[in-house]
Structure 1
């Protein structure tokens, strides 16, 4: 009995130590993830033709980050320190998604999200939206950059994924991400049509799929359709298109 009691105490102490360590390391992990995202965003900006020159002309070195209320589409003042994924797990700072709306497989969605903007003379030059959704084996996170019409994709940069190596993981390759610029998200009626198709794309709303990775491609398409729709950034993009930066 004493041996069992001692073993229980050791197990409890180990669990507490691991829990304390995980809690202590969490801020550092978040900071590292954010630093990696920023590096990828800078690389994406540098890859967009002429954009870095515009930023130098304006005297800015990075995009402006704002916080957006997703329900109303209103931009809020304070964005520093906001972690969308942590907010999405907290019932007080998130909403449960109806099953029929949850095409990205998130279950919950944060009430407020980050957007990154570049403007010149009050006009939007670029909007970068962080998006995420369920892939085949992992949660996929990406940065979706939109041109000033808010419908044409300027770039898609995958920032996190753990899909099947050699198959779904190829969504992070430069070659596949290079297929996205110029694709259209919605048609003239406003219907969201962007898709990742099996084989070769045949319309402005399609991107070539990756052989052997259909479910990963579907996950990317569903992720973008969700965040561009009414449960994602849709209200913000509608308001931005009608009112500008205000």
Structure 2
């Protein structure tokens, strides 16, 4: 009996030591890799923003250099549409949306986000002459399974689409995940987000958009809810509760 107790005690002790060593290794790895993870996350964000501005071919392998040269990140107050002081690198929309002090309950929540940060970051993309040619706006809204995060790139008229790019989603592979398909993304450039009255008019059409309809894009085949989520997300973020005030103030010219 004593031998069994001794054997059991050694086994428990061994397992305990192994657990401690593994925990220490995981903690050490997390600390050592944190800077690299942050850098990789930033690089992915910069890549998506350049893609939304249709500048990936220009950037080539120099994503960071091209971004730093041509892209200006600015904080805005969403309610007023005015620029505000703040560090865009420290801004975290997901964190803000969870903080009641930094966000608000959405009244007409067609995007399904529940709460919206008081502030946002917009990306002004300049050409070589220093003139703003594209504005990239971060967007977030519900798909079939969860929130989908992305960017919409608009020309300086703040109406004509350059690109709609999704960067983070949990949609079904082969269906809702087709938001990442280059063929579907290629349908967006040149479309108009607003009609002549200034109302958000873009729509994602099940069965296919009519030829020549500048406000319509084909829906994703077999992914009705995801397609509807994209449309609702754009209507929300380009409307009064999203970037609407900022767009209204800057249609006459960006600087």
Q: TM-score, normalised by structure 1?
A: 0.79
1:141 aligns with 2:142: no
Q: Displacement of 1:71 after TM fit?
A: 0.6
Q: Does 1:195 align with 2:203?
A: yes
| In structure 1, distance between residues paired with 2:35 and 2:147 | 20
Offset from partner CA, 1:106-137 (integer Å, 9 cap, x none): 11000010100024667531100010100011
User: 1:45, CA displacement in angstroms?
Assistant: 3.9
Aligned to 2:97: 88
Match of 1:165 in 2: 173
Residues 163/88 of structure 1: CA separation in 2 closer, same or farther (3 Å cut): same
CA RMSD of aligned residues (A): 3.1
> Structure 1 residues 122-131 or 167-176, which shifts more?
122-131
| Alpha-carbon distance between aligned partners in 1 of 2:145 and 2:96, rounded to the nearest angstrom | 23
Residue 179, structure 1, aligned to residue 187, structure 2: yes
Q: Which runs of 5+ in 1 are unaligned?
A: 1-9, 53-57
Name which one, 1 or 2, has greater alpha-carbon Rg.
2
Structure 2 regions of 5+ residues with no counterpart?
1-15, 61-65
Q: Specify the alignment match of 2:233 in structure 1.
A: 223
Residue 80 of structure 1 and its aligned partner are, at CA, apart by 2.8
TM-score after normalising by structure 2: 0.77
Aligned-residue offset at 1:190: 1.3
Counterpart residue number, 1:211: 221
Q: How many angstroms does 1:44 deviate by?
A: 4.1
Counterparts of 1:1-246 in structure 2 under 5 Å? Answer: 32-47=40-55, 61-78=69-86, 79-98=88-107, 101-119=108-126, 123-202=131-210, 203-242=213-252, 244-245=254-255
